[in-house]
Structure 1
Amino acid sequence: MLDRLNFPQPWLSWVLFLTWQILSDGVSGGSVVLGLLLAWLIPQLTQGFWPERPGFVKPWRMPAYILRVVKDIIAASFAVAWLILSPRTPRPAFISYQLKLEHPLAISILASTISLTPGTVSADISDDNKTLLIHALDAASDQEVIDAIHNSYEKPLMEMFR
């Protein structure tokens, strides 16, 4: 039904509609009509910015991924605080990470996850989208950081995306 009504991004429309209903002062006929109008109009206006639909193969794995990221953010926050407060000198490093992901959205999610986690930042991506340059605040070895990112983030993303 959503395809017949020409909703180019049905999940975005659904989230927009629900968000509008939550933000409006109670559910009424007017808020439902306006919510449906916004849920249809905003994806229509932004359709050019969406090159392709996300290639989710197993979208039900996303909540577990988000919980993993939140847990890692909390743990890394304490690790960075401990590093700053301790007399030990950090061992910063720039690491070239060879990507196995191919889907642009999956690569963006991985780069964002790395940047959200305290102590690491995605600094750059190569022109061919095959290498991600990562700055780590404290890295015992490049391979340790590469293995941690691959096992914690890239592997689950590879399972979620085509």
Structure 2
Amino acid sequence: MRHVLPHPALSAMLLIVWLLMANSITIGGVVLGGAFALILPKFTQPFWPDRPRMRFGRHFLGYLAIVLLDIVVANFQVAWLILFRRSRDLRARWLVVPIDLTTPEAITMLAGTISLTPGTVSADVSADGRFLLVHALDVADEAAEVARIKRRYEARLHRIFA
């Protein structure tokens, strides 16, 4: 089975993303997406000598729920900021978030999550992988925002990538 599906989670994710991008579920779309889901992990297998250890149970589902909720809430917050506040009143800040995660996959997932949430974007990871530079659109308390990122996202990623 390992020869056919070297990375089953990646294959499943590729198929789901393909179908979401196609915006419809058709037989041709499923066949083409399935082909990509089987072929791409096989060709990229040499670049993944150590598979990331992930837990796809309740921790992953909880993380996904938190991220989706935060994206929806942040969309409304950013819309309110744009519609009802002047740009000179925004408190845009650069935040340096210390990272306790050790695997590149977990750090990438943290950076991607931050960038997916409207109003924040991950700009850089330090060379040693211990700090993440984040730009936030409106921050009253920098330390509280860093603590929120660590509590809501990084702590959950620790449990997923244990």
CA distance in 2, matches of 1:99, 1:71: 23
**Is residue 161 of structure 2 the alignment partner of residue 158 of structure 1?**
no
CA distance in 2, matches of 1:67, 1:149: 15
Match of 2:56 among 47, 56, 59: 59
CA distance in 2, matches of 1:129, 1:14: 28
1:76 Cα deviation after fit: 0.7
* Closer/same/farther in 2, CA of residues 146 and 53 from structure 1, 3 Å limit: same
Q: What CA RMSD, in Å, does the superposition of the two structures yield over aligned residues?
A: 2.7
Question: After superposition, where does 1:3-22 map in structure 2 within 5 Å?
Answer: 3=2, 5=3, 7-13=5-11
1:47 Cα deviation after fit: 1.2
* Closer/same/farther in 2, CA of residues 147 and 52 from structure 1, 3 Å limit: same
**Is residue 78 of structure 2 the alignment partner of residue 80 of structure 1?**
yes
Q: For residues 31-90 of structure 1, give each alpha carbon's deviation from its aligned partner in whole angstroms, at most 9, with x where no partner exists.
A: 6xxx5x76554322111332421211x321212211111110111111111111223511
> Any gaps of 5 or more consecutive residues in structure 2?
20-24
Q: Whose Rg is larger?
A: 1
> Any gaps of 5 or more consecutive residues in structure 1?
none
CA distance in 1, matches of 2:99, 2:29: 46
- TM-score of the superposition, structure 1-length normalised? 0.80
- TM-score of the superposition, structure 2-length normalised? 0.80
Identity of counterpart residues, as a percentage? 42
1:10 Cα deviation after fit: 2.9
**Is residue 66 of structure 2 the alignment partner of residue 68 of structure 1?**
yes
Match of 2:48 among 47, 50, 72: 50
User: Which amino acid counterpart does residue 24 of structure 1 have in structure 2?
Assistant: I
Are the equivalent residues in 2 in contact too, given 1:55–1:161 (CA < 8 A)?
A: yes
Are the equivalent residues in 2 in contact too, given 1:92–1:137 (CA < 8 A)?
A: yes
* Closer/same/farther in 2, CA of residues 26 and 124 from structure 1, 3 Å limit: closer
User: Which amino acid counterpart does residue 103 of structure 2 have in structure 1?
Assistant: H
Size of the aligned set, in residue pairs, is 152
